[in-house]
Amino acid sequence: MLLQELMEQQKQWLKLSFFCPLELAEAASDVLAVKSGNGVEQSPEQDSACVLAGFFAVHDADEVRLVAADVGAALAALFALYERPAPELERRMLQDEDWATSWQRYFKPFAVVPGLIVRPSWESYAAGPGERVLEMDPGMAFGTGQHASTRGALTLMRQALGALPPEVEQRALDVGTGTGILAMAAALWGMPAVLALDNDPEAVQVAAENVARNGLAAQIRVALTPPAALSGSFALVTANIVHDVLAAMLADLTRLTAQGGFLILAGILAGGQEANIVRLYGDCGFHLVEAKYEDEWAALLLRRG
């Protein structure tokens, strides 16, 4: 059947899938989530790669081509940062059949880490003693806390928040905030002022909406401001990105972390990448407090001074 004939039927969904190196899986998933506003599918990992798929509502053949070109360009730019060739996107059309809502029954409230619950907007949840609840929908992909690096960063954050130096102004910085989950967790756990940054305008919009939805706008400011443009220092800095970006941001993240303050780095593969980051930041005056591991991912808690 011709594509145009397909599009003349009821609303269609375009599935774009591609092979992705594991080290780029979280960042690439964020691209798909922000561009689509829907969930991201990840196949089982094999040979240091996985298959990612995003789902996009489309209305005609022209829109199919535009969406594929837009997503392809965003992914090509991401892959180029790591000197990797642009991924080849496979297109597949899906019949609607209420697909956009049928998956909702599979997404229930869950504890991303002990004491922090993420619930979708269509589910209620009665918080238990000591529990805090964030309302986020699975269209946010890994940013809802379903990825190992996010869980590792959150676990280390709670530890750091209990040991912040009292003489340093109590404010936090989240670089590459994505959906804002780390910034919101910091605010829920008592940080009075949080600055959440991202270089993607669409991600900034998503994060700002999540912050407002959870009643945290008085504590969290979301901005496009690059870290290089910031002044001052923060008691807690978090960056859940990827190895090469964390290495490139060494000078800025060092400058922005207060003496005695904590830096949490995630999105790093355990082993070689982890060792390199520990070495680079160690040369700038940080020491490793703790590392958390899940699957092939490492999250690092560093302290300056």
Q: Which residues participate in the annotated binding site for S-adenosyl-L-methionine?
A: 150, 176, 198, 240
The span from the CA of 273 to the CA of 170, in Å, is 30
Q: Which amino acid is at 277?
A: I
The span from the CA of 178 to the CA of 206, in Å, is 8
Cβ contact 139:38 at 8 Å:
yes
The β-bridge relationship of strands 257-269 and 234-240 is parallel
Strands (E) located in the chain: 12-21, 40-42, 49-58, 90-95, 110-113, 116-119, 132-135, 171-175, 193-197, 220-223, 234-240, 257-269, 286-294, 297-304
Q: Which amino acid is at 202?
A: E
> SS3 breakdown of the chain: % helix, strand, coil, rounded to 5?
40, 30, 30
Cβ contact 11:83 at 8 Å:
no
The span from the CA of 68 to the CA of 79, in Å, is 16
- Helix (H) or strand (E) run with residue 160 in it: helix 148-161
The span from the CA of 189 to the CA of 249, in Å, is 26
**Sequence ranges of the binding site:** 150, 176, 198, 240
Could you give phi then psi for residue 261, rounded to 5 degrees?
Answer: -85, 175
The β-bridge relationship of strands 286-294 and 49-58 is unpaired
The span from the CA of 45 to the CA of 35, in Å, is 23
Identify the residue whose tokens are 């808690």: 301
